[in-house]
């Protein structure tokens, strides 16, 4: 069974280490396909990878980059109906046999005969790792056993109209339902790419909420699992410098500035929530924002938190039986 790995990278010195870790630690590395949009001044030396025949690689000069959602949409254009879809950031590390671990969880969830269980999305803000020696590609992984869930951040609700920030939270069960998506760590089936293709109009703010709402209302089930075997390099734990898309020096030569893209993104999120977008980039018809309000404790349309425990902790989703629909 093939896994398509989507990696949108922007000026990231850890891109090569991320690719190598995924390949080396997979139980079945021959089944991996790497879709890479490398937005950098120095393209990868593809010939240096012994498995370069498993690459679908595009190099883009930074000045021509239009942001992470644009890059992820371009990567999905190379998707060829592989069985599974893994979307990650370009600064990740993997545990041994991560591929079979994730597939087994997908199969376990899909053993439940309901539509939302047949369309599972496994996601979280992963456990962290530290860089010990980047040249030797030595890293220290936080292997604490836990179930990472996602909640809303209490101090950052509706800070840009309908946009709110998200934060990792800890669930008390090995598998839980979820109501938010982390765009830098998604494992799902090919149906996700076919039904919820990336909207390139989004920039950064609004990416995760819009993706979640389009998936949720099409009856995809969001799940968090114990000890997801992928690790993320968080900025506060790193002294490795990398430029970001909205860096003033990077952005100064672009015709469309980052803040213009952000404004467009926020406006589109508002239009999505208000039901003003039709077709594949709009909301689905199988679940409603009322259903979402029930599981998340957040009324997105009216911009009101109605249940703080649901919205800001993993207590409610931990109390639900993951093998049954909450609705």
In a domain, 211, yes or no: yes
In a domain, 235, yes or no: yes
Angle subtended by helix axes 207-216 and 258-273, to nearest 10:
30
Is the model's pLDDT at 81 over the cut of 80? yes
In a domain, 326, yes or no: no
In a domain, 13, yes or no: yes
Mind listing the pLDDT tens digit for each residue in 169-217? 999 999 999 999 999 999 999 999 999 999 999 998 899 999 999 999 9
Q: What is the mean pLDDT of residues 146-168?
A: 93
Instruction: Please tell me the predicted confidence (pLDDT) of residue 121.
Output: 98
Instruction: Please tell me the predicted confidence (pLDDT) of residue 253.
Output: 84
Full domain range(s) for residue 193: 3-319
Is the model's pLDDT at 1 over the cut of 80? yes
In a domain, 325, yes or no: no
Give the torsion sign (CA, 123, 100, 170, 6): negative
Is the model's pLDDT at 245 over the cut of 90? no
Instruction: Please tell me the predicted confidence (pLDDT) of residue 263.
Output: 92
In a domain, 203, yes or no: yes
Q: How confident is the model at residue 167 (pLDDT cuts 50, 70, 90)?
A: very high
In a domain, 287, yes or no: yes
Q: Provide the domain count of the chain.
A: 1
Q: How confident is the model at residue 242 (pLDDT cuts 50, 70, 90)?
A: confident
Instruction: Please tell me the predicted confidence (pLDDT) of residue 235.
Output: 81
In a domain, 127, yes or no: yes
Q: At 299, which CATH number?
A: 3.90.550.10
For residues 269 and 267, give the distance between their C-alpha atoms in angstroms, rounded to a whole number: 5
Give the torsion sign (CA, 7, 173, 215, 112): positive
Is the model's pLDDT at 135 over the cut of 90? no
Instruction: Please tell me the predicted confidence (pLDDT) of residue 289.
Output: 97
Three-class SS state of 89: coil
- Rg (the chain; Cα; Å): 19
* Tokens read off for 148: 């990472």
């Amino acid at each position: 069974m093939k896994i398509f790995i989507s990696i949108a990278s922007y000026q990231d010195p850890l891109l090569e280490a991320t690719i190598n870790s995924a390949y080396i630690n997979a139980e079945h590395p021959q089944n991996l396909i790497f879709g890479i949009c490398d937005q950098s001044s120095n393209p990868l030396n593809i010939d240096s990878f012994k498995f370069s025949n498993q690459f679908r690689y595009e190099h883009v000069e930074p000045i021509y980059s239009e942001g992470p959602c644009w890059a992820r949409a371009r990567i999905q254009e190379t998707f060829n109906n592989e069985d599974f879809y893994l979307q990650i950031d370009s600064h990740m590390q993997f545990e041994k046999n991560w591929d079979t671990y994730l597939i087994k969880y997908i199969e376990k969830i899909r053993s439940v005969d309901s539509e939302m269980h047949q369309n599972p999305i496994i996601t979280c803000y992963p456990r962290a790792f530290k860089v010990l020696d980047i040249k030797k590609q030595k890293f220290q992984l936080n292997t604490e056993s836990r179930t990472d869930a996602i909640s809303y951040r209490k101090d950052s609700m509706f800070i840009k109209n309908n946009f709110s920030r998200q934060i990792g939270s800890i669930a008390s069960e090995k598998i839980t339902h979820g109501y938010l998506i982390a765009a830098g760590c998604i494992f799902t089936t090919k149906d996700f790419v076919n039904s919820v293709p990336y909207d390139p109009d989004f920039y950064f703010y609004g990416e995760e909420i819009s993706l979640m709402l389009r998936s949720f209302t099409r009856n995809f089930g969001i799940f968090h699992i114990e000890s997801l075997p992928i690790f993320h390099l968080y900025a506060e734990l790193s002294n490795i410098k990398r430029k970001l898309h909205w860096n003033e020096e990077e952005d100064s030569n672009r015709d469309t500035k980052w803040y213009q893209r952000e404004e467009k993104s926020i406006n589109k999120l508002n239009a999505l929530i208000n039901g003003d977008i039709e077709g594949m980039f709009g909301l689905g018809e199988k679940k409603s924002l009322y259903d979402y309000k029930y599981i998340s404790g957040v009324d997105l349309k009216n911009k009101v938190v109605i249940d703080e425990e649901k919205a800001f902790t993993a207590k409610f989703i931990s109390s639900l039986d993951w093998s049954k629909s909450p609705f």
